[in-house]
């Protein structure tokens, strides 16, 4: 009998699937999916059927979105984790919010390690754009994280951010019964030692929360996700001004008569956000079209 389920994780060609009756089973993907160039991903809703050697994934149901990195599907909510200290990576934050905006994914920004540095101004800046932003200290047991679980109810959510910002520490606080490995960041490679390297979904509040692999600044360059013409719409604060530009094909980087640039000069748009937009625009200019459609 065919069963419908949700992929929680995949390791070595095997996929752990949570089926409708609440049980978990290990499945392999039918070879036909490979011929269709479809790879099952955590977050995929699938149809599975029994075979002689166990269950196989027969079909991947239509996806609402796919994250290129980390590879997962059907994401409703991203908890974007920054570290208040030693220095928050705001380019990574702005790139990831742009990806989420493009894919129609809700974002909540968690500024971790708020006990080490005052990040209230930064939190206020993102809140003024319209992003829900919270200051937390995941290592401090006095900091409550329960409201994070409430946000996950009925959704597929994930924690994203650079290596070492505290994603796995947050998850360990939320799921103390799980064996979630945490570690410090290697100063040589800027990767987390003993940190998450695969995506796994954890059931909570009738929803699912995933820990995802961290990334370094070098790896961040691999996040090709849209073309440069789509980028302005991924910066939500640009929307009141883009139609006021002198040229309809304005890139909002250097043109005369650009209403977005004028809004930056008038303090209506954060100069730092616009600088990161320009950096992303230049990065996307270097991509061929097929590279932005992964």
What span, in angstroms and rounded, lies between the C-alpha atoms of 183 and 205? 27
> Taking a C-beta distance cutoff of 8 angstroms, is the pair 237, 260 a contact?
no
Residues contacting residue 101 through CB under 8 Å, at least 6 positions apart? 107, 233, 234, 235, 236
Pairing of strands 24-29, 156-160: unpaired
pLDDT of amino acid 220: 54
C-alpha R_g of the chain: 20
Query: In the chain, what are the domains?
Result: 3-60 (2.40.50.140), 66-220 (3.40.50.300), 232-292 (1.10.40.50)
Residues contacting residue 119 through CB under 8 Å, at least 6 positions apart? 82, 84, 88, 111, 135
pTM, two decimal places: 0.87
pLDDT of amino acid 35: 63
pLDDT of amino acid 46: 96
Encoded tokens for 1: 């009998």
> Taking a C-beta distance cutoff of 8 angstroms, is the pair 158, 78 a contact?
yes
φ and ψ at 105, to 5 degrees? -105, 130
Q: What is the DSSP string of 40-78?
A: --TT-EEEEEEETTEEEEEEEPPPS-EETTTTEE---EE
| Residue count of the chain | 294
**Mean pLDDT per 10-residue section of the chain, whose length is 294 residues:** 92 91 90 76 94 87 88 94 92 92 95 94 96 94 87 93 86 76 42 57 90 61 70 96 95 96 97 96 72 49
pLDDT of amino acid 232: 95
What span, in angstroms and rounded, lies between the C-alpha atoms of 261 and 269? 8
Q: In whole angstroms, what separates CA 286 from the centre of its chain?
A: 23
Q: What DSSP element (H or E) covers 155?
A: none
What span, in angstroms and rounded, lies between the C-alpha atoms of 1 and 66? 28
Residues contacting residue 292 through CB under 8 Å, at least 6 positions apart? 224, 225, 226, 227, 284
Give SS3 for 80.
Answer: strand
> Taking a C-beta distance cutoff of 8 angstroms, is the pair 171, 199 a contact?
no
> Taking a C-beta distance cutoff of 8 angstroms, is the pair 163, 214 a contact?
yes
pLDDT of amino acid 31: 79
pLDDT of amino acid 168: 83
Burial of 245 per CB tally in 10 Å (0-12, 13-18, 19+):
buried
> Taking a C-beta distance cutoff of 8 angstroms, is the pair 30, 48 a contact?
no
What span, in angstroms and rounded, lies between the C-alpha atoms of 173 and 138? 7
């Amino acid at each position: 009998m065919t069963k419908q389920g949700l992929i929680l994780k995949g390791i070595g060609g095997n996929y752990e699937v949570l089926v409708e009756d609440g049980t978990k089973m290990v499945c392999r993907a039918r070879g036909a999916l490979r011929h269709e160039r479809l790879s099952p991903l955590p977050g995929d809703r699938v149809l599975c059927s029994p075979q002689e050697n166990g269950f196989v994934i027969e079909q991947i149901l239509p996806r609402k979105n796919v994250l290129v990195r980390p590879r997962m599907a059907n994401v409703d909510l991203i908890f974007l984790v920054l570290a208040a200290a030693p220095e928050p990576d705001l380019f990574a934050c702005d790139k990831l919010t742009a990806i989420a905006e493009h894919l129609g994914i809700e974002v909540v920004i968690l500024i971790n390690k708020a006990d080490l540095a005052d990040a209230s101004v930064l939190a206020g800046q993102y809140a003024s754009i319209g992003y829900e932003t919270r200051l937390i200290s995941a290592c401090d047991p006095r900091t409550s994280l329960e409201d994070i679980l409430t946000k996950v109810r009925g959704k597929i959510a994930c924690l994203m951010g650079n290596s070492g910002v505290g994603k796995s520490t947050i998850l360990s606080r939320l799921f103390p019964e799980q064996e979630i490995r945490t570690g410090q960041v290697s100063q040589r490679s800027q990767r987390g030692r003993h940190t998450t390297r695969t995506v796994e979904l954890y059931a909570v509040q009738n929803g699912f929360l995933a820990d995802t692999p961290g990334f370094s600044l070098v790896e961040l360059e691999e996040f090709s996700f849209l073309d440069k013409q789509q980028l302005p719409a991924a910066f939500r604060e640009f929307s009141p001004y883009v139609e006021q530009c002198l040229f309809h094909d304005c890139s909002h980087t250097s043109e005369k008569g650009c209403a977005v640039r004028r809004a930056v000069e008038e303090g209506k748009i954060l100069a730092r956000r616009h600088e990161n937009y320009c950096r992303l625009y230049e990065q996307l200019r270097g991509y061929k079209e097929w590279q932005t459609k992964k």
